[in-house]
Structure 1
Amino acid sequence: MTAGDTASVPRIDPARSACVLIGVDTYESLPDLRSVRRNVEDLDRALGDPGIWGVPDDRRWVVPNPRTPGELTGPIREAVEKAEDTILVYYAGHGLLELDDELHLALPASKHGWGETSLAFSVLRGLLLEARGSVKRRVVVLDCCYSGKALGEMDGEETVPRRRQIEIEGSYVLTSTTERERAHAPLLKTHTAFTGALLDILQQGDPGHGERETLTLNQIYRLLKDSFAIRQPPLPAPQAQDQNGVGDLPFIRNCPRPANHVPIPSRWSRLRLLLAGAGILLTGAGLGVGTTLGWERHASQPRDFPGSCGSQDRAVLLDVSDRLDESGTNEYNGTAIEQLSALALTGEGTEAIAVRDQGGTHVFRLTLGREAPHTLRPEVRHQPRTLYTPEGRDFPKFDGEGLVIERDGRTILVSEERGPSIRRFRLSDGRQLGEPLPLPKVFRPPPAPGGRADGTRNLESLTATPDGKHLFAGMEGPLLGDDGKSGAHRVRIQSYRGESGSHYTPSIQYGYPTDQGYYLTELIAVDDTRLLALERGYMNGLGSGVRVYKVDLDGATNVDGQILDTGHEDRLVDKELLFDLASCPPGDLKKRQGQPNPLMENVEGMALGPPITGTYRGRRALYLVADNNSRPRYQSTRIYSLAVRLP
């Protein structure tokens, strides 16, 4: 059908259509798929954008991490009742081929080989075929491994001359792969390969054919194939099946005008909106979405805080503030408030202390806001304190990275990277008290005798148990000889025993495994056997990655004097993901240079607050702080607050 032909054919009507977007990003037995959540969010926003398709808010359903088949199919049944023109269903997650050689859509608890733990595509097919009497067209989009198995599953409808395509029922299936290929979800990418390309087309249209006012599903499919054909290395080619001419109906607007656009922060949001409005079913294999359990209608406006950071509902992002970058609050009596690398709560309401690294030896006392953690309004109200040697002299070089406020509130412990060292300071005048705490020889960089540490990724984190009887000091990077696999690192955590404000002696040394491309940046002691660990990574073009893990030290091996090379995984502590900051809602934050995800920043510090009352009762407040590296034009001195669920 030519452009002239489509001009006389009615467009798929978004006002009379409905779409259901399903994403599974978190799994108990299968690898997590962190990019799936952004797939669904950005696609929902795109499909709801009047400049792209324009499906109303009450006709779009977002289904993140459905735990049971009923949680997945329930929203589809409701959408079918509402749709009169087209029903569009999108799935992104793991696709499994079970013993019956049938495509199964994975759920969070699915296990390969246990077909009863996932949803057979035939069940979804039957549900959509039952809808033939109430909707004219059904569109399915699958972004998952082996999704090509769905092609042909929607057969059984009489093929009729194209001139009658508007009056009859039909279907369109678009898949990310063939029936024997795996889908592609690049590590640290915002979206999966297939959905990312689809979002680009929805947002940018077909610039090579600007005379077209609309694009059809078949035209979108051809653009996808062309996009994948030039990729290096080659990726699986998308597949499509058109029944009764649905693929030739005018669908979305081509090259939507910016004036018509609702702000769309990412490709995932754009695609989510487009699919919801068209009523197309997208199926995705090998992908998953990390959002709250259950399903919900998703509004087209940008999401505000609070918002869940993953399907397990372990963390909720309450607020984010860049206020310390604003004129009038970014300095105090001429001292710049920047390069904050550690944060600790004083125990007096929402007051906290932060340490500056590299650019000076300042300690800032600040308040996080009267309504923190629900609403952040950070402000420095006191003259910053400078840290001095025991003799009252300036340190020639000092790189403060970790911070502990001791129980009497009069002294602090600060770990610094350049030494490295752990020193005690009196808050009243900033002077060092006594000698630094003893450190293992291997924590020092060469040429110090026995030193095996990296001078630039050294002693980064410090925390104390609530009773002050245990300290934990963490290295950011591995020691010489402690080799991990494929960019993952094995780093050391040194524990101490003693009394707050008094002496500490070294105790057990632990081995901690970081994720690929990540380093250990901060620790929080929940008690003497449980920690929270903050991992951070950065890659040019992909931005920062920030993850917080729960760490269990109970029964862990003392690795003092041992090498943590490959083959000794049993020497490492156990960890479990609490949340990935990239899975939290981005809101309307300003995107900084080098951060494709506007939520992400150079997070270095973390502080655990008291139990929260009200809506998030039973959770603890958790605060994060980002170091701007004295580059306020490109990085932010940002503070985050979250409500986290701990055992």
Structure 2
Amino acid sequence: MRLKSVFAAASVCLATAACLTAAGPAVAHSSYGNACSSAVSLAGFSDVLDKTSYDGTYVGNLSALARDRDGALVALSDRSSLFRLDAKTLRPKGVVALADESGGALDSEGVVVDRDGTRLVTSETEPSVRRYSRDGRLLGRLPVPASLQVAPAGRATANGTFEGLTLLPDGRTLVASMEYALSGDSAGIVRLQTWRRHGTQWRLGAQYAYRADDGLGVPEITATPDGRLLVLERGFTSGVGNTIRLHLADLRHATDTSGIENLTGHKSVRLAKKTPLADLVDCPTLGATAKQPQPNPLLDNIEGMAVTGHDHHTGRLNVLLVSDDNQNTAQTTRFYRLTVRLPRQGGA
């Protein structure tokens, strides 16, 4: 199948996995000249996988990204498919189907590649975090607090649970983000649940609270090399389009909220420290087009994010985003390559 490709590439690639290249020569742009903000620049975008199929599986509905241990990319579809992508071309190299304990489909939203190569995958149906082998065999399931379950079992709303998943650099702490607030919590306050590794087991750890901007949810989180979190916030208004913002969260000094039932009016609760990095509406379009109204034609339903490179001299990160097209003709599967400069980490 002929793949549609729209591509704008940077002339400098700090890490091989961050360089998006479509078939044929790339168009060169300054790595840091296409500013979205003082901290974030758009290095390029690619629609190479939009409305394509691979090995009989639709390549779309992409809700999460991660780097595999060999440098390839892992892209998760919320329709229970897990793709391996070539880090340079973004073209699929393989796909495996995922299923729950009964062989049923997942509403799969977040993915982490663990240090042994196993895949940790969230489903927002219950919600759940399951472990899979590289070939898609179900290996186990992590415990989830009762309060985070979808009502009436818990206090979460349907389609508003585990969207983001990331492993901190210590390799021992897993973090999942709820998309929206629990019933009884203030609007915009989302819970971040952690697990700690004990030998071969994952046990429930601390829980933290993060405040999303008004009207937005949290579709993805990704750990930075210094242990902070990049947080993607997203919203959609019919006839207007998407709002996509990138923030930095620091969990140090935040209150462990695992024992607090309702986060409303608790003045003693310290939220995760939040630092705005960019509103993607301010990014250059680089010639992008949209199939539906958008405040910037570059934007779409962005859900996946991964750090693909780190320049130790400058501290800049290469960050890859992907949009979920919902298998909708009015939406686009689009990859975005950002260069992100993080503010210095404050003292302990």
The CA distance in 2 between the partners of 1:459 and 1:565, in whole Å, is 21
The CA distance in 2 between the partners of 1:543 and 1:566, in whole Å, is 33
**For residue 362 of structure 1, what is the aligned residue in structure 2?**
81
Confirm or deny: 8 A CA contact 1:545 1:582 kept in the other structure. yes
Confirm or deny: 8 A CA contact 2:63 2:304 kept in the other structure. yes
**For residue 325 of structure 2, what is the aligned residue in structure 1?**
628
Alignment-mate amino acid for residue 333 of structure 1: D
Q: How does 1:330-349 map to 2 (within 5 A)?
A: 330-349=52-71
Confirm or deny: 8 A CA contact 1:604 1:624 kept in the other structure. yes
Give the 3-state SS of the residue equivalent to 1:546 in structure 2: strand
**For residue 575 of structure 1, what is the aligned residue in structure 2?**
274
**For residue 200 of structure 1, what is the aligned residue in structure 2?**
none
Q: Pick from 294, 297, 302 the counterpart of residue 598 of structure 1.
A: 297
**For residue 535 of structure 1, what is the aligned residue in structure 2?**
233
Confirm or deny: 8 A CA contact 1:466 1:527 kept in the other structure. yes
The CA distance in 1 between the partners of 2:37 and 2:113, in whole Å, is 34
**For residue 642 of structure 1, what is the aligned residue in structure 2?**
338
Give the 3-state SS of the residue equivalent to 1:381 in structure 2: strand
**For residue 44 of structure 2, what is the aligned residue in structure 1?**
319
**For residue 156 of structure 2, what is the aligned residue in structure 1?**
453
**For residue 249 of structure 2, what is the aligned residue in structure 1?**
551
RMSD (CA atoms): 2.2
Confirm or deny: 8 A CA contact 1:464 1:471 kept in the other structure. yes
**For residue 431 of structure 1, what is the aligned residue in structure 2?**
137
Any unmatched runs of 5+ in structure 1?
Answer: 1-302, 370-376
**For residue 422 of structure 1, what is the aligned residue in structure 2?**
129
Deviation at 1:431, TM superposition (A): 1.1
**For residue 35 of structure 2, what is the aligned residue in structure 1?**
309
Give the 3-state SS of the residue equivalent to 1:582 in structure 2: helix
Deviation at 1:304, TM superposition (A): 6.5
Deviation at 1:569, TM superposition (A): 7.6
2:184 is aligned with 1:481: yes
The CA distance in 2 between the partners of 1:639 and 1:619, in whole Å, is 19
Deviation at 1:464, TM superposition (A): 0.4
Alpha-carbon spacing, 1:622–1:528, altered in 2? closer, same or farther (3 Å): closer
**For residue 260 of structure 1, what is the aligned residue in structure 2?**
none
**For residue 509 of structure 1, what is the aligned residue in structure 2?**
207
Deviation at 1:529, TM superposition (A): 4.8
Deviation at 1:594, TM superposition (A): 2.9
Alpha-carbon spacing, 1:516–1:592, altered in 2? closer, same or farther (3 Å): same
Alignment-mate amino acid for residue 387 of structure 1: L
Q: Deviations over 1:67-122 (max 9, x none)?
A: xxxxxxxxxxxxxxxxxxxxxxxxxxxxxxxxxxxxxxxxxxxxxxxxxxxxxxxx
Identity of aligned residues (%): 39
Confirm or deny: 8 A CA contact 2:69 2:113 kept in the other structure. no
Give the 3-state SS of the residue equivalent to 2:171 in structure 1: coil
Give the 3-state SS of the residue equivalent to 1:478 in structure 2: coil
Alignment-mate amino acid for residue 309 of structure 1: A
Deviation at 1:544, TM superposition (A): 0.6
Confirm or deny: 8 A CA contact 1:331 1:337 kept in the other structure. yes
Q: Deviations over 1:371-416 (max 9, x none)?
A: xxxxxx321122x1011346xx631x3100010001122x100011
Alpha-carbon spacing, 1:304–1:467, altered in 2? closer, same or farther (3 Å): same
**TM-score, with length taken from structure 2:** 0.84
Confirm or deny: 8 A CA contact 2:36 2:284 kept in the other structure. no
Give the 3-state SS of the residue equivalent to 2:192 in structure 1: strand
Confirm or deny: 8 A CA contact 2:37 2:277 kept in the other structure. no
Confirm or deny: 8 A CA contact 1:552 1:573 kept in the other structure. yes
Q: Deviations over 1:579-608 (max 9, x none)?
A: 221121111111221323101110001101
Confirm or deny: 8 A CA contact 2:63 2:76 kept in the other structure. yes
Q: Deviations over 1:240-293 (max 9, x none)?
A: xxxxxxxxxxxxxxxxxxxxxxxxxxxxxxxxxxxxxxxxxxxxxxxxxxxxxx
Give the 3-state SS of the residue equivalent to 1:587 in structure 2: coil
Q: Deviations over 1:283-328 (max 9, x none)?
A: xxxxxxxxxxxxxxxxxxxx9775443452x1111110011016xx
Q: Deviations over 1:186-224 (max 9, x none)?
A: xxxxxxxxxxxxxxxxxxxxxxxxxxxxxxxxxxxxxxx
The CA distance in 1 between the partners of 2:317 and 2:226, in whole Å, is 18
Alignment-mate amino acid for residue 464 of structure 1: L
Give the 3-state SS of the residue equivalent to 2:147 in structure 1: helix
The CA distance in 2 between the partners of 1:355 and 1:566, in whole Å, is 37
**For residue 153 of structure 1, what is the aligned residue in structure 2?**
none
The CA distance in 2 between the partners of 1:528 and 1:511, in whole Å, is 20
The CA distance in 1 between the partners of 2:292 and 2:126, in whole Å, is 32
Q: Pick from 412, 415, 423 the counterpart of residue 119 of structure 2.
A: 412
Alignment-mate amino acid for residue 576 of structure 1: T
2:96 is aligned with 1:385: yes
The CA distance in 2 between the partners of 1:348 and 1:605, in whole Å, is 20
The CA distance in 1 between the partners of 2:268 and 2:159, in whole Å, is 25
Deviation at 1:643, TM superposition (A): 1.3
Deviation at 1:348, TM superposition (A): 2.7
Q: Which 4+ stretches in 1 moved above 3 angstroms? A: 303-311, 566-570
Give the 3-state SS of the residue equivalent to 1:548 in structure 2: strand
- Greater fraction of residues in strand: 2
The CA distance in 2 between the partners of 1:532 and 1:636, in whole Å, is 23
The CA distance in 1 between the partners of 2:40 and 2:65, in whole Å, is 19
Alpha-carbon spacing, 1:467–1:574, altered in 2? closer, same or farther (3 Å): closer
Deviation at 1:478, TM superposition (A): 0.4
The CA distance in 1 between the partners of 2:145 and 2:46, in whole Å, is 38
**For residue 399 of structure 1, what is the aligned residue in structure 2?**
107
Deviation at 1:442, TM superposition (A): 0.7
Number of residues paired by the alignment?
314
Deviation at 1:504, TM superposition (A): 1.1
Deviation at 1:567, TM superposition (A): 5.8
Higher relative contact order (CA 8 A, sep 6+): 2
Give the 3-state SS of the residue equivalent to 2:249 in structure 1: strand
The CA distance in 2 between the partners of 1:304 and 1:598, in whole Å, is 19
